[in-house]
Chain A
Amino acid sequence: MILNATFLSAFLGVLLVLLLPRRFEMLSRWLALLASIAGFVFACKAFAGYDQKSAQHFQYVTQIPWIKALGIQFFTQADGISLVLLVLTGIIAIAGVLFSWNVTQRPRAFFAFFLTIIAGVYGVFQSFDLFLLFVFYEIVIVPKYFLIAAWGSTNREYGAMKLTIYSVAGSALVLLVTAATYAVSGAHSFDLMVLADHAHIVFPASFQVWAFPAMFLGFAVLAGIWPFHTWAPTGHVAAPTAVSMLLAGVVMKLGSYSALRVAMTLFPQGLEQWRNVIAVLATIGILYGALVALAQRDLKFVVGYSSVNHMGFVLLGLVTLNTIGLSGAVLQMFSHGIIGGLLFAVVGRMIYDRTHTRDIATLGSMHLSKALPFAAFTFTVASVASMGLPGFSGFIAELTILSGSWKPFPLLLIPTGLGVVVTVAFTLRALQGSFFAAKADGPPDPAGHHEPFDPITLPEKLGACLLMATTLGVGLYPKILLDPIMRSFDSPLMHQLIREVASK
């Protein structure tokens, strides 16, 4: 029940925000903040209350028959993976509201759509009925479109529609396989635990061989798998700050989480056949994302492509199929959620809303490290974390993924290692170019600004501190997340997957 309280509080927030009278519409951000904090508190409480010693890997079980005609249940529970991602959602939700404190245009609709996405994301991370999971997964799509198209910036309608079309195409693949799963299994059930337990019996190999790639790809589109990543940079850039944070922070994780939880556990035989292909695509994503980011002049595009790069690590970690690599993938989902959110917060809110430019050279001419020292500090921390310096969460996550992939994909480590180097290069270039340019040698500032920028507001500082503290905390003490994650891969469900595939 405490799990369900996470998305219920968000839905309640949506309802209350919509019911606010027009005169009090500025109250909507307080309501949204309250709803986000409530969700975060519930998620943390569930995380803290998770009994790691217990023989039950899955706790907080709620299982109610829902639609009898198809054997659909309302089935939610959580293991370490779910809990880590639920906490991530809570953090990003709070930070997202704090960084959209300055939304004055139709705030009720903005926060209603925002909280709907949050509710959907919470729902996906705890659903263990395939149908229920898909319902929550799809709830996210339409609000994303409106948030970007109505409140976004550069090329917003194009970016929004492109992102939506990619998401919907991905979901169409998932929907097809979900319907086929029901037809093929004949089990009259969408219970992921039951289906995965009997995957070998109910899903013939001839079915798995096409169902797995269709479903994995459907989910992985949302995770930004190369070559279907192109929605990510344009979408991130067009989106308003809070939505970029949501997209990079949690929505992309929906894809990778569902790929792991659904596609991989249901179709282990299909996974085995397609594993190498996915590993190669993931590696291309890592290298390609980094190289393209290196060539960008728009700071937000740099961050957008860095998402493709970091999500490549997640996908690579998933197909290592050993506990180390898989745990690294989940930790990287958390870590990139925080760091990506932080980067977009600085670029979209702290910088762009004040300077109205994101061109690296122009920014360099503005002496931002002096004009906006807090922004410069935050961006430095985020960059350092993003590069994977020890002490931050990104380091430990990428390290575990790399050590996990040593055995199954030794050859891929060369391009991956190269990708890491290029990551350092593009991050440093962006950081140095836009904040610490030695002298103002860029084109003259088009706005010709002389008046000082508005100071960084309190909500921004709070949000940034929350995210920085999280990445630092996890970097210094990764055990707090890694222990429950690694334990989750011991559950019979996952254990079977690891053994099945790795033994061959």
Chain B
Amino acid sequence: MKSLDLDLLGYLHLLKVLAPEAILVVTALVVLGFGLSSSAERMRPLLTRLTLLGCLAAGAFLLIYPENAFLQNGMVVLDPIGRIFKLAILGLSFITVILSAASPVRRHFAEYLALILFSTVGMMLLAGTEDLLMIFIALELTSISLYVLTAYHKRSAASAEAGLKYFLIGGVSAAFLLFGLSFVYGVAGTMSLRELAVIAPHLANDPLMLAGIVLTLVGFGFKVAAVPFHLWAPDVYEGAPTPTAALVASGSKVAGFFILAKLLAIGFGSSVGMADWSQFRPGWLPILAIMAALSIVLGNLAALVQSNVKRLLAYSAIAHSGYMLLGLTSANVPGFTAVLFYVLVYAVTTVGAFGVVSIVERRRGGSQLQDFDGLYKTSPGLSLSLLVFLTSLAGIPPFAGFFGKFYMFSETLAASAPGTNPGMLWLVILAIALNAVSLYYYLVVLKHVFVAKPAHEIRLKAVACAPVIGALALAVLLLGIFPNVLLEPISNAVTAYTKEIAKPMQAR
């Protein structure tokens, strides 16, 4: 590994590339400072605005600074695809902050916002690195902030339990990940993904390399809540303050899948393996295929019997992790493009769904199915938005979730040349069958919203975040009708990126 050789100019360049993250950190510190004052409670709106402003500034900087960068042997990179994902993460955090403004978090609100910003910085670093160590550090920054955010309801036992569970399981998963990465480093002798890509073909059958891959995937399995490493998810989604749950479900998932895709495509690209029916060969593909199959089955079936909407969304999130892992088993560029498109669509949809849940929770005091009874009567706009989010999650057109799923399934099938060889057909059949099952539990929620008689006739007052939720619903609809708007940039960026890494090392 090269030593850090930075002169003043180098530092300036680094600062420019990392300016968005720096802006967020500064904002977080300022917010923390304001929080120290005695009148912090009255400053809630000010703090919220400050945080939002920080996010906006970081996003604006990303947009006006379009130069690509590859610094310190890949420790910090900035490229079109990374920029799209950093912007997406910023957007999701932005919405989370808006939801937080309406949340029941009363005490230490400044610290709450600061933690959201810190975890955002972690996710953004994750989207902008190609270095194993940096991946680990960024993941930990994200996770540790999220542990605290989860346990933020100080008076709620459920929140504390969720935080503890998340922390313990997350800690174990971090250990797995670090162990796996150290194996990979030990065999390959490099931290850089691109150097790994050059060396790895010679190590494709090295048992230590394979062990490293397995351990790494176990670690990521925890992070994206794939079965059998999903046990934390239902408790965290249910117990955590709803904005936290929204961030866990959206931002952290986007970052997690982005870096997982990058790691698999570049770093482990040569140890793919095979997961065709009855023809398994070692590599990362069979592991993903099994995790995908288990997540899809267990997530969808367990969701059927939930009576709490947040818990139901947690199991649906597990199932969706399964679909996205399925997309990754295509192991080719179109398939990865499909996954990247889908994870963004999924994040937007989920954050919207959690937004609706948080409003209902605040007004009706819970997120059980009964609390949604007759929501349509009291707030039709919110109910229609929920209809859009949930039917999109169920994969019903014309919403974005449908096209996303269809794209992933088609590309996964196309990747393994069916007709001659059934390839991943078994997994796609499983996914489509259980996706049909999933409509049932989404419809149960919607039935409570549209059909059931309201138990109490409280009219939900218009809340600040209602327009945001409406806009998200509109986005889900429009992305379903005009997916090109998002797909073209992603697809172009991925193509550019593939060309970039195909260049020989010396050329850079």
Q: Which of A109, A139, A157, A168 contacts B398 (CB 8 A)?
A: A139
Known A146-B446, A164-B439: A138·B397 in contact at CB below 8 Å: yes
Q: CA–CA, A453 to B188, complex, Å?
A: 87
Neighbouring A residues of B192 by C-beta, 8 Å = none
Q: Are B410 and A70 in contact (CB under 8 A)?
A: yes
Closest to A181 in B: B410
**Complex Cα spacing A180 to B418, Å:** 8
State whether A179 and B410 are in contact (beta carbons under 8 Å apart), knowing that A138-B397, A168-B436, A207-B419 are contacts in the complex.
yes
Given contacts A68-B484, A109-B376, A180-B425, contact A172 B413 (CB under 8 A): no
Q: Which residues of B contact A175 (CB under 8 A)?
A: 406, 409, 432
Partner of B413, one of A68, A106, A179: A179
Residue B183 at the chain A interface, CB threshold 8 Å: no
Q: Using A164-B439, A176-B429 as known contacts, say yes or no to A206 and B487 having CB atoms under 8 A apart.
A: no
Chain A residues with CB under 8 Å of B387's CB are 142
Cα A68 to Cα B484 in complex, Å, equals 8
Pairwise interchain contact A184-B396, C-beta atoms closer than 8 A: no
A139→B443 contact, CB < 8 A: no
B447 touches A157 (CB 8 A): yes
A residues 146-164 near B (Cβ < 8 Å) are: 146, 149-150, 157, 161, 164
- Determine which of B398, B428, B429, B483 lies in contact with A67 in the assembled complex, contact meaning CB atoms within 8 Å: B483
Q: State A168–B436 Cα separation when bound (angstroms).
A: 6
Look across to chain B and name the residue whose beta carbon is closest to the beta carbon of A132.
B397
**A313 interface residue per 8 A CB criterion:** no
> Is B406's CB under 8 angstroms from A179's CB?
yes
Q: Are A142 and B391 in contact (CB under 8 A)?
A: yes
CA distance A183 to B483 in the complex (A): 20
* Residues 380 to 396 of chain B near chain A (Cβ within 8 Å): 380, 384, 387, 391, 396
Min CB distance, B415 to chain A, in Å?
A: 8
Q: In the complex, are the beta carbons of B410 and A138 less than 8 A apart?
A: no
Q: Say whether A69 contacts B439, CB under 8 Å.
A: no
A164 touches B484 (CB 8 A): no
Do residues B428 and A179 form an inter-chain contact, with CB atoms below 8 A? yes
Q: Is the CB of B410 within 8 A of A182?
A: yes
Taking CB atoms, residues of chain A closer than 8 Å to B334 are 69
Q: Given A134-B397, A168-B436, A206-B419, are A180 and B413 neighbors across the interface (CB < 8 Å)? A: yes
* Contact residues in B for A138 (Cβ distance below 8 Å): 396-397, 402
**B397 to chain A: closest residue by CB:** A135
**Interface hits, A113-172 → B, CB 8 Å:** 131, 134-135, 138-139, 141-142, 145-146, 149-150, 157, 161, 164-165, 168-169, 171-172
Q: B447: which A residues are within 8 A, CB to CB?
A: 149, 157
Q: Please give, as numbers and ranges, the residues of chain A lying within 8 Å of B380 by CB-CB distance.
A: 109
| With A180-B425, A183-B418 as contacts: A145 and B413 at CB distance below 8 Å | no
Contacting residues of chain B (263-282) with chain A, CB-CB under 8 angstroms: none
Question: B414 within 8 Å of A by Cβ?
Answer: yes
In the complex, residue of chain A having the shortest beta-carbon distance to the beta carbon of B449: A146
**A interface majority secondary structure:** helix
Q: Does B12 contact A (CB under 8 A)?
A: no
Cα-based distance from A327 to B432 in the complex (angstroms): 34
Question: CB of A227 within 8 A of chain B?
Answer: no
B residues within 8 A CB of A109?
376, 380, 450
Q: Would B443 and A164 count as touching, CB distance under 8 A?
A: yes
Confirm or deny: B433 has a beta carbon within 8 angstroms of a beta carbon on chain A.
yes
Interface: A373 (CB within 8 A): no
Size class of the contact patch on chain A: 35 or more
B321 interface contact, C-beta 8 A:
no
A70: which of B407, B429, B433 is its contact (CB, 8 Å)? Answer: B407
Q: How far is the CB of A330 from chain B (nearest CB, A)?
A: 26
- Give the chain A neighbours of B491 by CB distance below 8 A: 69
Residues of A within 8 A of B446 (CB): 146
A492 at the interface (CB under 8 A from B): no
| Minimal beta-carbon separation of B427 from chain A (angstroms) | 12
Given the contacts A69-B491, A145-B443, A150 and B450 also touching, CB distance less than 8 Å: yes
Across the interface, name the chain B residue whose C-beta is closest to A185. B419
Chain B residues near A164: list those with CB within 8 A. Answer: 439, 443
A69 engages B432 (CB within 8 Å):
no
- Within the complex, the shortest CB–CB distance from A211 to chain B, in Å, comes to 10
Judge whether A444 is part of the interface by a CB distance below 8 angstroms.
Answer: no
Residue picked from B380, B402, B436, most chain A C-beta under 10 Å? B436
Task: Known contacts A69-B334, A70-B410, A138-B396; decide if A150 and B451 are in contact (CB<8 Å).
Answer: yes
Q: Tell me if A417 counts as interface (CB < 8 A to partner B).
A: no
In the bound complex, how far is the Cα of B487 from the Cα of A66, in angstroms? 12
> Scoring A residues 386 to 412 as 1 if CB is less than 8 Å from chain B, else 0, what string do you get?
000000000000000000000000000
Is the beta-carbon distance between B413 and A157 smaller than 8 angstroms? Answer: no
Chain B minimum-CB-distance residue to A176: B432
Q: How far is the CB of B9 from chain A (nearest CB, A)?
A: 41
From B414, B425, B446, B488, residue with most partner A Cβ within 10 Å: B414
Residues 474-500 of B at the A interface (beta carbon under 8 Å): 483-484, 487-488, 491
Residues of A within 8 A of B433 (CB): 172
**Contact between chains at B418 and A172 (CB < 8 Å):** no
Bound Cα distance A242, B406 (Å) = 32
Among A161, A165, A184, the residue within 8 A (CB) of B419 is: A184
User: Is B435 part of the binding interface, using a Cβ–Cβ cutoff of 8 Å?
Assistant: yes
| A204 interface residue per 8 A CB criterion | yes
The proximity string for A residues 62-96 relative to B, scoring 1 for CB distances below 8 Å and 0 otherwise, is: 00001111100000000000000000000000000
A168 to B488 Cα, complex, angstroms: 30
How far is the CB of B73 from the nearest CB of chain A, in Å?
33
Kindly list chain B residues whose C-beta atoms are within 8 Å of the C-beta of A69: 334, 337, 407, 484, 487, 491
Contact B443 A161, beta carbon cutoff 8 Å: yes
Residues of B within 8 A of A171 (CB): 436
Q: How far is the CB of B409 from chain A (nearest CB, A)?
A: 5
Nearest first, the 4 closest Cβ-Cβ pairs linking A and B are A183-B413, A183-B414, A172-B436, A135-B397
Interface residues, chain A, with chain B CB atoms under 8 Å away: 18, 66-70, 106, 109, 131, 134-135, 138-139, 141-142, 145-146, 149-150, 157, 161, 164-165, 168-169, 171-172, 175-176, 178-180, 182-184, 186, 203-204, 206-207
30 contacts between A and B (CB under 8 A): A18-B384, A67-B484, A67-B487, A68-B488, A69-B337, A69-B487, A70-B410, A106-B376, A134-B397, A135-B402, A138-B396, A138-B402, A139-B396, A142-B387, A146-B446, A157-B447, A161-B443, A169-B436, A172-B436, A175-B432, A176-B428, A178-B406, A179-B409, A179-B410, A179-B428, A179-B432, A180-B418, A183-B410, A184-B419, A186-B414
